[in-house]
Amino acid sequence: MSDRLLNFDLSSISPDDGAPAEDRIVSGSPTTRTWNVEEAPDGKLFAGVWEATPGKWRVVYDEWEFFRIESGVSVVTEDGGEPVTLKAGDSLVLRPGFTGTWEVIETTRKAYVIRLP
């Protein structure tokens, strides 16, 4: 394969296990797994796959993120806004300055591209 093409083949990548910061958790005991497939040389662009188990936590975005839900169900709610339910096939862009909550109803997996400021 060309060095200009990158396949999202997770079988050759070990995921990073994690969880939201304890002070951000609203409910549950969510855990996360992240397979970072690409990182730009300047460290400002990332692409990969993220997965989280049920729970709800506060989020604050300084970065720009595009994602597509591959499986599961989550609800993203902007502070002062209406909840947005996301399921397999749904895509969303979160822009810098977004604050609110992310709630995983059913274990959710998303493919993402993140650009840092």
Domains in the chain, please, with CATH?
25-115 (2.60.120.10)
3-state DSSP assignment of residue 7? coil
How many C-beta atoms surround the C-beta of residue 9 within 10 A?
10
pTM: 0.93
Confidence of residue 2 (pLDDT cuts 50, 70, 90): confident
Q: What is the pLDDT of residue 7?
A: 87
In terms of Cβ atoms closer than 10 Å to its own Cβ (0-12, 13-18, 19+), residue 108 is: buried
Q: What confidence score (pLDDT) does residue 90 get? A: 98
Q: What is the pLDDT of residue 14?
A: 95
pLDDT tens-digit readout, 46-83? 999 999 999 999 999 999 999 999 999 999 999 999 99
Question: If pLDDT is split at 50, 70 and 90, which confidence band does 4 have?
Answer: confident
